[in-house]
Amino acid sequence: MARKRPNVLLFGVDSLRRDHMSAYGYGRLTTPHVARFAGEGVLFEQHFSPSIPTTPAYASMLTGMDCFGTDVVALRHRGGLGDHVRTLAEVLGENGYQTTCVGFTGNPSSRGFQQYLDYAGWGPDDSGRSPKAENLNRVAIPELERLARADEPFFLFLRHMDPHSPYLPPRPFERLFYGGDEFDPANHSMEPVYAFKPFADYLSSWIPEGCTDQEYIAAQYDGAVAYLDACVESILRRVAALGLDKDTIVVFTADHGETLYEHDCYFDHHGMYECTLVVPLIIRYPGHVPAGRRITDVTLISDIMPTVLDLAGIRTPIRFTGRSLAPLMRGKELPRVTEFYITEATWMRKHGWRTPEWKLIHALEPDFHFKPEIELYNLIKDPLELKNVAAQEPEVVALLQARMQAWIARREEATGRTNPMFTNLQWHGKESGPFRTSQEAYDALYIGGARQARALQEKK
């Protein structure tokens, strides 16, 4: 009798910074349960989401294609995925899987699931806190149990909204990493946050009135990560109790990271800096991938779908731009990724090129932070990307621009489509074309309160 294919459980965590996970060496004990889980599988130390934010990132994760392959680059992508791509849910469904999506209904890359379930994943409840991950568990665990009873293998995709803002983890997580006075009148660190008009009203809708300390808000983020970790453990324990451990590929990853107080991108996920592009990736499949291995090679979010299909023993004629990481996990070498194209169309439209030493960021239209058109950072000497050296290194800028443009030309020829970064001129959800000045962008990109922010996230 043929062995049943393995189940697939995919944790997709929104806005999770890798460098704020204790599993990756963070000083605060934010993810002890995920660290234990990582010890049972393979942890990837340099995993990148090159096209941010949520919509293009998940499009790449769930199709195995880069942004040229998906034709998706903007948060507020218009329309669905093109018929030129297949999603992981579609391919697994065609191979006899039951497929369920939790918390991602309506997103273009959620196409192809047989079942869609939702939960309260945004604002606060009556306590003033937001138990998003517990809300997810109340929906996901019964569905996991239902799927476990079936004869067919299953694909269960869980889109977590912790630690995405608003950062409102339930007690005691809200003060787990903070012991100061968030209302200290001598602390002025929140003044630039409140002065940033596009975000001020949204942030003020959930930040405690009178809060003066940005470290308190960062601690709320870390508390949300720790809360997520505890709730993920509840699901993993249920997987074990159901006897599914050895028959389930479990993938833990994120769509992108988060900027907290860096680069003027307050408590959001725009700006193509390392804190936003670098994300976790952990894969566990007992008996098929080794336990406790850490891989330092650069990997990309488009590698996830071909890896899952390879581990599940499913062959497909799809020519992915990502690649299976299964050989790498088993100790074999793969050609190293040394440089790659990066994009964002969140609140700014920019693209760039990253190498092990350099990060080039090129604004395709003026941004609302009044940043220069060209930014260049030496990632070895300046890993926090604090000093823009574009003016001092014109030859490096020219070299990286040339390599980026050559890559764009090759991908346009291979796909038969123009770079979507050049064609998505309404990426901001407005009816106007590209912004002509930073002031125009600053005045136009006003989020408003929490309700409007949620509507923007849901493309309403």
What is the spatial distance between Cα 226 and Cα 172, in angstroms, rounded to a whole number?
A: 10
CA dihedral 159, 269, 440, 55 (to 10 degrees): -30
User: Residues 329-333: what's their mean pLDDT?
Assistant: 93
Who's near 363: CB < 8 A, 6+ residues apart?
348, 349, 350, 371, 372, 373, 374
Task: Report pLDDT for 453.
Answer: 60
* Res. 455 pLDDT band, cuts 50 70 90: low
Q: How many CB atoms lie within 10 A of CB 116?
A: 14
Who's near 240: CB < 8 A, 6+ residues apart?
none
Who's near 322: CB < 8 A, 6+ residues apart?
60, 64, 65, 66, 300, 301, 302, 303, 304, 305, 306, 307
Contact yes or no for 302/60 (Cβ under 8 A): yes
Tell me the CA distances in angstroms from 278 to 32, 202, 420, one per residue in order: 20, 26, 22
Please say if the pLDDT value at position 458 is more than 70.
no
Which of 124-138, 179-193, 444-458 bottoms out in mean pLDDT, i.e. has the lowest? 444-458
Question: For 5-50, what is each residue's pLDDT tens digit?
Answer: 999 999 999 999 999 999 999 999 999 999 999 999 999 999 999 9
What is the spatial distance between Cα 51 and Cα 57, in angstroms, rounded to a whole number?
A: 6
What is the spatial distance between Cα 280 and Cα 210, in angstroms, rounded to a whole number?
A: 34
Task: Report pLDDT for 1.
Answer: 31
- Collapse the DSSP code of 8 into the 3-class scheme (helix H, G, I; strand E, B; otherwise coil) and give the result: strand
Question: For 175-195, what is each residue's pLDDT tens digit?
Answer: 999 999 999 999 999 999 999
What is the spatial distance between Cα 94 and Cα 84, in angstroms, rounded to a whole number?
A: 17
Matching residue, tokens 């991602």: 104
Question: For 210-249, what is each residue's pLDDT tens digit?
Answer: 999 999 999 999 999 999 999 999 999 999 999 999 999 9
Which tokens is 338 given? 């040394």
Q: Which helix (H) or strand (E) holds 227?
A: helix 214-241
What is the spatial distance between Cα 322 and Cα 249, in angstroms, rounded to a whole number?
A: 19
Task: Give the pTM.
Answer: 0.95
User: Residues 55-74: what's their mean pLDDT?
Assistant: 96
The residues with which 156 forms a beta bridge, in sequence order, are 9, 100
* Res. 104 pLDDT band, cuts 50 70 90: very high
Please say if the pLDDT value at position 413 is more than 50.
yes
User: Cis (ω within 30 of 0) for the bond into 192?
Assistant: no
Contact yes or no for 379/356 (Cβ under 8 A): yes
Domains of the chain, earliest start first: 7-182+217-329 (3.40.720.10), 340-457 (3.30.1120.10)
Task: Report pLDDT for 2.
Answer: 44
Please say if the pLDDT value at position 432 is more than 80.
no
- Across the chain, mean pLDDT equals 94
Contact yes or no for 445/62 (Cβ under 8 A): no
Tell me the CA distances in angstroms from 342 to 57, 288, 372, 407, 423, one per residue in order: 11, 32, 17, 11, 16
Strand 7-13 and strand 248-254: the pairing is: parallel
Measuring CA to CA, which residue among 243, 183, 247 is closest to residue 214?
183
What is the spatial distance between Cα 209 and Cα 371, in angstroms, rounded to a whole number?
A: 29
Measuring CA to CA, which residue among 359, 361, 400, 401 is closest to residue 381?
359
User: Residues 427-433: what's their mean pLDDT?
Assistant: 83
Measuring CA to CA, which residue among 174, 214, 182 is closest to residue 196?
214
Measuring CA to CA, which residue among 323, 328, 324, 246 is closest to residue 293?
328
Task: Report pLDDT for 324.
Answer: 98
Task: Report pLDDT for 325.
Answer: 98
Task: Report pLDDT for 450.
Answer: 60
Q: Which helix (H) or strand (E) holds 223?
A: helix 214-241
Task: Report pLDDT for 79.
Answer: 81
Which tokens is 171 given? 């007690």
- Residue 26: burial class (beta carbons within 10 Å; 0-12, 13-18, 19+): middle
End-to-end Cα separation, the chain, in angstroms = 50
